[in-house]
Structure 1
Amino acid sequence: MRKASLYKRSNGLQRRDAKQTIEEFSHFLQWRSDGCDSLLDIGCGSGDVTIDFLLPILPTKFSKLVGVDMSQEMIEFARDQYPHPKILFEKFDLGVDLEKQQFRNEEPFDHITSFYCLHWVQNQEKAIQNMYKLLKPDGDMLLVFLAQNPIFEIYKQMSQSKKWAKYMIDCDNFISPYQYSKNAADQFGKLLYSNGFIEYSVEIREKFFVFEGIDLLKKSVKAVNPFIERIPLHDQDAFFDDYLNLVIKMHLSLDDIHTNSKTCRFLTPYKLIVAYARK
């Protein structure tokens, strides 16, 4: 479970944005009067955001908290790290019909949350349809995911390189569906409405994150890069070197890497979609 462990050690950006969003928007969630709420966290990854930021806001009498992820490695890691009598971690793919999966929940949930997951799902309509089905009547959800990020442009350019193309043939599957959208909030809002959500709010948040040093950037790239494990071990450093050259070419380096390589800072400007919706 090396990648799950690496992700947990390198997800500072994701943790920061999840924490800020929960602090700002969790009061919108319609908590039950009896305190027996159930919550589904989609794209739980290594489980640390689920445990550190969602568990504390649940009523003490909550009925269950379920974290799901399409990575079996992430699920096994979360189960091992966070045993709890009312918390489950299960494998689940948001972009696939519910009927075609082993994930079976006896009843819908009061709430759904998802942090840094939906941009991986190319079939956005199917994702929204699944979430609608997984919510109880009057159930609600809080979602945060990438609209635009320079990492997706880097993937696109690297996939056109002769050296890396054979490992990145499905590159477009790992680029946010909203990367080139002129109005991502409106586009996502229309999908919510057309699939049954009458009450909803969608906004774009412009953010940035600074990676302090080349080692932190490298760990972060390895933790989330969907192509790295396809590349032979002896070529992975070369892959990162080419990645880094594109970062510099895109003027995302805040320092001169040639004179200050170890402590060079790297800027990542990006746009988040933050959405609340109620069934």
Structure 2
Amino acid sequence: MSLSPHKFNKATYHLKRVTEFAKQYFKLIKWKSNSRILDIGCGPGHLLLQIEPLFPEDYAEILCIDKLEEMVNYFNSQKRDPRIKAIPMDIQTTSLSNDLKGRFDFVFSCDSLMYWSNIRQSFRNISQLMNEKGQLFFIWTKKGDVHDIYKAMNKIHKWAPYTSEFKNWTSYFDTENPTKALKTEFERVGIEILKSETMKSSFEDEERDNLTELFESLDYVSKRIPKSDLAEYKDDYRKIVDEKLTKERSSDNKMKWILPFEYIVVAAKKSC
């Protein structure tokens, strides 16, 4: 069990939903010719490649960034349009490259925002990355399930030294009114919301292990664990993941495992 872009790339639960939201929200976007597009938290790239056909055909470039080099390397090994490039970069950086400032007409991010620990620095960077007419589309879940797992692992004495940064973890937008919190943070950096909504959804699978492997494919802490302890670590990790899943009988009388969550979707533009 370890970080696995290949395994994560197999997770297709959210592709249909994200594509549907993108089709709806992209109607609010005023596309310009030769757009420069930024994908934040691209992972192995399967989601970006899923919605890439929705972008204007004449886009100039898509730059994809992720703080995990394993994800970037995997993405760059995949077949894709030559205008798409992935580089390792953390959106929370305090040393943003001058070459990237004001470069992008459109910023896209899916399922990464809930894992940012420094929201204000991230949004400050995003505002600087957008040009004066820049626009964005974000979609993410209220809770950061992977980090929540590490927070639970931190309560187990044996794994506490490896998960110390998650001891007091909270997802910034896991509140009763996430849109209000988002509006406040956007206004700080000159970004105006065009449309935003939250809705309940879920990942569903007849095989529990498929959902468990989804989390395991994102487990970058496991590489810190001594090999002699990995089996025990894996057992504890899976137990915590299992606690997040519920079991129901489907309409065709088959049992299915469910991971419930809430989506937050937003389209916005640079206002100053």
* Fold agreement, TM-score > 0.5: yes
- Relative to 1, partners in 2 of residues 1:60 and 1:17: Cα closer, same or farther, differing over 3 Å? same
1:175-202, Cα deviation, whole Å (9 max, x unpaired): 52233x2322211111111221134333
Give the TM-score normalised by the residue count of structure 1: 0.83
Secondary structure in structure 1 of the residue aligned to 2:266: strand
Count matched residues: 265
Map 1:96-245 onto structure 2 (within 5 A).
96-97=93-94, 100-101=95-96, 104-105=99-100, 107-148=102-143, 152-172=147-167, 175-179=170-174, 181-245=175-239
CA positional deviation for 1:31: 0.8
Select which of 258, 261, 265 maps to 1:267. 258
Aligned residue in 1 for 2:37: 39
Matches of 1:149 and 1:93, distance apart in 2 = 17
Distance 1:13 1:248 in 2: 18
Provide closer, same or farther for how the CA distance between residues 90 and 152 of structure 1 changes in structure 2, counting only shifts above 3 A: closer
3-state DSSP of counterpart to 1:170 = helix
1:55-98 residue CA offsets vs partner (Å, 9 max, x unmatched): 2012222111111111112112111113533111112111112x
Gaps in structure 2 of 5+ consecutive residues: none
1:52 pairs with 2:37:
no
Contact kept? 1:149, 1:269, Cα under 8 Å: no
Q: Look up the match of 2:267.
A: 276
Cα distance between partner residues in 1 of 2:155 and 2:19: 36
Alpha-carbon distance in structure 1 between the residues aligned to 2:87 and 2:243? 41
The structure-2 alpha-carbon separation of the partners of 1:125 and 1:149, relative to structure 1 and needing over 3 Å to count, comes to closer
Partner of 1:259: none
Q: Which residue does the alignment assign to 2:24? A: 24
Unaligned runs of 5+ in 1: 256-262
Equivalent position of 2:66 in the other structure: 69
CA RMSD of aligned residues (A): 2.7
Q: TM-score, normalised by structure 2?
A: 0.85
Q: C-alpha distance in 1, partners of 2:67/2:169? A: 14
Change (3 A) 1:205 1:96: same
